[in-house]
Amino acid sequence: MYYNQYEVILVDLNPTVGSEIQKTRPCLIISPNEMNYTNLIVAPMTSTNKDYPTRVKLSSDSYVVLDQIRTISTKRIIKKLDIEVSTKKIAKIKDIIKVMLVD
């Protein structure tokens, strides 16, 4: 199956080590389409609000956790979810990633 950047997928993130985000949860694909065949770079999502500059609020109970970005195998994916992320939110996510990793 093929996956697109900024799609939301349900992923089994276990097993984890230390304070890595765990459980089966939605994740936002942030890797470019050209990479998305066997491994994906994803940002997990949570319903827990923490006032971190690396969290992007998508809805009243959904946050993208950019401080927990990780690479996963496509074998961890359970299914694609029918959740769309607005272009405004994508722009905010990209800005935060740029500050985190480039600037």
Please say if the pLDDT value at position 13 is more than 90.
yes
Please say if the pLDDT value at position 41 is more than 90.
yes
Instruction: Specify the pLDDT at position 2.
Output: 87
Instruction: Specify the pLDDT at position 103.
Output: 72
Please indicate, yes or no, whether the overall pTM of this predicted structure exceeds 0.85: yes
Which structural domains are found in the chain, ordered by start? 8-101 (2.30.30.110)
Distance CA 19, CA 35 (A): 27
pLDDT (average), residues 12-17: 90
Confidence of residue 30 (pLDDT cuts 50, 70, 90): very high
Q: Is the CB of residue 77 less than 8 Å from the CB of residue 93?
A: no
pLDDT (average), residues 60-86: 95
Q: What is the DSSP letter of 2?
A: -
pLDDT (average), residues 13-41: 93
Q: CA nearest 42: which of 11, 85, 82, 14?
A: 11
Please say if the pLDDT value at position 1 is more than 90.
no
